[in-house]
C-alpha cells in the first residue's frame, strides 16, 4: 500500500512540474498547450480521481500521522515501555507521562508507541502473506482450467471455516513449541502473522480469479497464445499488470483485517505476552481497570479505530480511482 501511495504522490509532483515547464515554454501556442495539458496517463487519472475522494485523502493523512508517530515517537519520548515505577501507579496525564500510567507504573504513551509498531508490523506482514497466497491461487484458478475446480473448492472450504475458533485452536497447539524454538516474542509474532495470513487470502483469490477469467479472453492474450508465448510469460507480462487494481485494494483492506484480528486475539489473552505490548494487549490489560483509569482502554481503542478506518478509506479511494468507469468524472 505504501508503494501505491508513493507512486501516486510522485506522479502528482512530476506532472505538476511538467505542466509548469510546458506552460512557460514559448514554443507551444495556446491551442497546442491546451491539447498537451489535457493529455492523460493512467497514473495521472488515478491521482486525479483519488484526490477527489475526501475520505481517502483524510485517511492518507491520518495513516501517515499514525505511522510517523509510532516510528519516530520513541525517539522523542524516550521512556522505556517496560520500565516500572510503583510510586507512579494509575497516574493521570502529566508532563512526564502525557497519557498517564497503568497499575504498575508503566508509561501509557510509551506502551502505545511500542504497541503501535507491533500492530502495524503484524498488519503489513500478514497482509503480504494473504496477498501472495490469494494472488497465486486466484491466477492459477483463473488461467488454468483444470485447477479452477479444486482451488475454488479449497477456497470455499476455508470460507466455511469459523475463523476465530480456528485461530484460537492453532495458537493453542503451536504457541509453546514456537516459543521454545524462537523465544516468546519472535515465536508468537511468527505464529500470529502466519495464522492470520493463511486465513485471510480467500476473498483476494476469488476477486483475482474473476478478473483473470475476463482478461484471458482478451485479444492481446489470445494473440500471445497464438504466437507460442509461454504461459508463465503471459501471466507475468499480460495478466498480472492488468489485475493490479483489485490486488492493491485487497492489500489495503488486508492490513485493516489483520490489525483487527490481532487485537481480538490479544484481547482474548492469546496474543503476545504481557511484557510485549500491542494495542489489543493494552485493551485486554486495561479492561479490568476501566473504572479507575478509563484512558487505558480509550487510547488503544481509539488508535485501532483510526488506523482501521483510515486504511479502509484509502482502499475505498483506490477502488474508485482504479475503476475505469469512474475515472475522469
Residue 165 has what pLDDT? 84
- HSE-up of 69 (CA within 13 Å, CB side)? 15
Cell 495521472 maps to which residue? Answer: 44
Residue 178 has what pLDDT? 84
Q: Where are the domains of the chain?
A: 76-314
Range list of H helices, 216-294:
219-226, 231-234, 244-267, 279-286
Residue 6 has what pLDDT? 47
Does residue 245 register a pLDDT over 60? Answer: yes
Q: In this structure, what C-alpha cell is assigned to residue 196?
A: 492470520
Q: In this structure, what C-alpha cell is assigned to residue 232?
A: 508463465
Cell 476469488 maps to which residue? Answer: 206
Residue 60 has what pLDDT? 92
Does residue 235 register a pLDDT over 70? Answer: yes
Which range (13-27, 48-62, 87-101, 275-289) has the least confidence?
Answer: 13-27
- What is the assigned CATH class of domain 76-314? mainly alpha
The overall average pLDDT reported for the chain is 81
Residue 278 has what pLDDT? 86
The residue that leads in pLDDT, 1 or 294, is: 294
Residue 63 has what pLDDT? 93
Alpha-carbon span 55 to 47, nearest angstrom: 14
Q: Where does the pLDDT of residue 157 fall: very low under 50, low under 70, confident under 90, or very high at 90 and above?
A: very high
Handedness of CA 8, 13, 15, 16 (dihedral sign): positive
Which range (41-50, 240-249, 253-262, 298-307) has the least confidence?
Answer: 41-50
Residue 307 has what pLDDT? 92
Residue 288 has what pLDDT? 81
Handedness of CA 36, 39, 41, 45 (dihedral sign): positive
Alpha-carbon span 47 to 53, nearest angstrom: 10
**Helical packing angle, 54-76 and 295-321, nearest 10°:** 140
Residues 6+ apart with CB under 8 A from 35: none
Residue 139 has what pLDDT? 93
Amino acid at each position: 500500500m505504501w508503494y501505491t501511495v508513493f507512486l501516486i504522490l510522485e506522479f502528482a509532483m512530476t506532472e505538476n512540474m511538467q505542466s509548469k515547464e510546458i506552460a512557460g515554454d514559448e514554443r507551444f501556442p495556446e491551442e497546442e498547450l491546451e491539447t498537451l495539458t489535457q493529455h492523460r496517463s493512467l497514473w495521472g487519472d488515478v491521482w486525479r480521481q483519488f484526490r477527489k475522494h475526501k475520505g481517502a485523502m483524510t485517511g492518507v493523512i491520518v495513516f501517515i500521522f499514525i505511522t510517523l508517530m509510532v516510528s519516530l515517537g520513541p525517539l522523542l519520548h524516550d521512556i522505556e515501555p517496560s520500565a516500572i515505577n510503583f510510586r507512579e501507579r494509575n497516574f493521570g496525564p502529566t508532563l512526564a507521562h502525557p497519557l498517564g500510567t497503568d497499575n504498575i507504573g508503566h508509561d501509557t504513551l510509551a506502551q502505545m508507541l511500542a504497541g503501535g509498531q507491533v500492530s502495524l508490523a503484524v498488519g503489513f506482514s500478514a497482509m503480504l502473506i494473504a496477498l501472495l497466497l490469494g494472488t497465486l491461487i486466484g491466477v492459477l484458478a483463473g488461467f488454468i482450467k483444470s485447477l479452477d475446480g479444486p482451488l475454488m473448492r479449497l477456497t470455499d472450504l476455508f470460507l466455511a471455516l469459523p475463523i476465530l475458533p480456528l485461530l484460537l485452536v492453532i495458537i493453542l497447539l503451536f504457541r509453546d513449541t514456537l516459543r521454545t524454538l524462537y523465544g516468546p516474542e519472535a515465536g508468537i509474532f511468527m505464529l500470529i502473522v502466519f495464522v492470520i495470513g493463511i486465513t485471510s487470502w480467500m476473498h483476494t483469490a476469488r476477486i483475482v480469479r474473476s478478473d483473470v477469467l475476463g482478461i484471458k479472453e482478451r485479444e492481446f492474450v489470445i494473440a500471445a497464445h497464438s504466437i507460442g508465448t509461454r504461459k508463465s510469460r503471459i501471466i507475468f507480462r499480460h495478466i498480472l499488470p492488468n489485475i493490479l487494481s483489485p490486488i492493491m485494494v485487497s492489500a489495503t483492506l488486508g492490513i485493516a483485517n489483520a490489525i483487527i484480528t490481532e487485537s481480538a486475539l490479544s484481547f482474548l489473552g492469546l496474543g503476545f505476552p504481557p511484557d510485549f505490548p500491542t494495542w489489543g494487549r493494552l485493551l485486554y490489560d486495561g479492561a479490568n481497570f476501566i473504572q479507575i483509569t478509563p484512558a487505558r482502554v480509550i487510547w488503544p481503542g481509539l488508535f485501532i479505530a483510526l488506523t482501521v478506518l483510515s486504511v479502509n478509506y484509502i482502499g475505498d479511494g483506490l477502488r474508485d480511482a482504479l475503476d475505469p468507469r469512474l475515472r475522469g468524472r
